[in-house]
Structure 1
């Protein structure tokens, strides 16, 4: 299934200590067929960060469209 800008996605693996498998986010930018910029939220709808980063570049294997 094609992943597009603004799609809701689920992490399929841990990205860093704060972003864990199963968390949900949104695709902010699709760079190409394998690279995406995403924002991840917690159960309360708050944007998660890691240090000063609030968006994260991931590859297609790290996310799944939901």
Structure 2
């Protein structure tokens, strides 16, 4: 998954403005207690991060 696709899905799920805030502030256990932004900055793949988001959020099957 490309990073652009990751952010498209994040914005589709959370909304245009909340997606960035959520990615910056919400700590996700499946990412080792990191935020989305931290995990991506540390080299985690967008696909892995998206799967972690789907584990902790009720993401529609259309976006999974």
User: Structure 2 length normalisation: TM-score?
Assistant: 0.31
The structure that is helix-richer by fraction is 2
The structure that is strand-richer by fraction is 1
User: Structure 1 length normalisation: TM-score?
Assistant: 0.30
